[in-house]
Amino acid sequence: DAVPKTEAYSRYGNPSSYVVLGKRYQTLQTYQGYRERGIASWYGTKFHGHRTSSGEPYDMYAMSAAHKSLPLPTYARVTNLDNGKSVIVKINDRGPFHENRLIDLSYAAATRLEILAKGTGLVEVEAIDPRNFGQLAEKPPIAASQPKVTKAPSLYLQLGAFADRSNAERLQARLSSSLPEPLHISETVSNQQAVYRVRIGPLASIESADQLTKILAAEGIKSPRVVVD
């Protein structure tokens, strides 16, 4: 695994925002408290030795990763939600610039997480504070042969979130006839305010999510949010 240590942020890798393929991305000012679930992919030989966004050369055999918004560098624990295996990576590059993807892993990290053959996997990414890492490292590790898995993750696409249920119902009605999967409205409470989320799923595979994203784009729904429960 990468060993978290306190480092200065990259001088060139952390603009407040940047544009790739016509889309603007905002960068985060801090990694503190970051935890997100989503789809991981990996990149390998084509980029080996090339300069990363932080200025370091990409090493496909190192425990590293690319992320669109976290500060460079950030250390993070990445856990495969299908098998419970986890690795610690150094995020030192930008990407992946593919719809629905959260993080791009190095060849080595993808191998350890056992997502190399499939190409993608459902993961949780949790930023690590290097100042606290020593305390975490002192805890006895979970045996690698017996990873902790609670339940199989479920994959959804979220098309919108509304304070007014009627707006959620209008979106559901507009799209229902165009989609091969049913749309659901879920109600949650955030800051004492009801929120109505329009979701499709659970989906059978990441490939299904990618195909639905293309259909949604044709219907005017750009960049639906990937949700992994």
**Euclidean distance between CA atoms 101 and 121, whole angstroms:** 10
What mean pLDDT is reported for the chain?
92
Predicted TM-score (pTM) of this structure: 0.89
Two structure tokens written together for 136? 């975490």
pLDDT over 90 at 143, yes or no:
no
pLDDT over 80 at 142, yes or no:
no
pLDDT over 50 at 145, yes or no:
no
Q: Which residues pair with 25 in a beta bridge?
A: 18
For residue 217, the SS3 value is: helix
Sign of torsion over alpha carbons 108, 114, 118, 121: negative
For residue 166, the SS3 value is: helix
pLDDT tens-digit map of 77-129: 999 999 999 999 999 999 999 999 999 999 999 999 999 999 999 999 999 99
Sign of torsion over alpha carbons 213, 217, 221, 223: positive
CATH class of the structural domain 17-137: mainly beta
pLDDT over 70 at 63, yes or no:
yes
Instruction: Tell me the domain boundaries of the chain.
Output: 17-137, 155-228
pLDDT tens-digit map of 146-168: 555 567 899 999 999 999 999 99
pLDDT > 70 in the chain, percent: 93
Q: Measuring CA to CA, which residue among 38, 66, 37 is closest to residue 209?
A: 38
Calculate mean pLDDT across residues 193-206. Answer: 96
**Euclidean distance between CA atoms 52 and 60, whole angstroms:** 12
What helix, strand, coil percent values describe the chain, rounded to 5?
20, 35, 45
Which pLDDT belongs to residue 152? 85
CATH class of the structural domain 155-228: alpha beta
**Euclidean distance between CA atoms 223 and 157, whole angstroms:** 9
DSSP 8-state symbol, 112? H
